A = this chain, B = another copy of it.
Amino acid sequence: MQIDILKVKAQLLCGGEFAMGPGKADLLEAIERERSISGAGRALSMSYRRTWLLVDSMNRCWKEKLIDTIHGGGKERGARLTETGRAVLKAYRALEAEIAQSVQGEALDMLRGFLRDEPLPRQPMSEHISDA
């Protein structure tokens, strides 16, 4: 999530594993849109393997599955977000919005005032290395 000069990344942890973050939230939205896990992966230019690892990770980190797959050849075949999946996605986006609102204050204004629009050009390393 980028707000002006600020980039903020919020990730939720389950034990040592990442249960939700920007990439997983985008994947949930793509699954809801594409009605297919592999289709969602393609839409996000993610490998099949990576897509499934993210889905597997989400389904293991939350008390209920976030994504449901419907097998067989019928019209309903494909993937959907569960009710929990939709609730978790919504709460994560709300959390991001809360963060975005919180950082419109004094500290960010001060930082903006000190920041250049573009960095100065990089100098060769040798000119900078000293024994300091």
Contact = CB atoms under 8 A, between A and B. Distances in A.
Interface of A: 2, 5-15, 17, 19-20, 36-38, 48-49, 52-53, 55-57, 59-64, 69-71, 77-79, 84, 87-88, 91-92, 94-95, 98-99, 101-103, 105-108, 110-111, 114-123, 125, 128-132
B71 A119 contact: no
Contacts of A71: 130-132
Given A77-B132, A114-B88, A125-B49, A94 B119 contact: no
Contact of A60 (B17, B84, B120): B120
A87 B114 contact: yes
A32 to B, nearest CB: 13
A114 B114 CA distance: 41
Given A56-B123, A92-B111, A111-B91, A6 B17 contact: no
Contacts of A57: 119
Given A98-B105, A125-B49, A119 B14 contact: yes
Contact of A61 (B52, B110, B116): B116
Contact of A15 (B38, B52, B119): B119
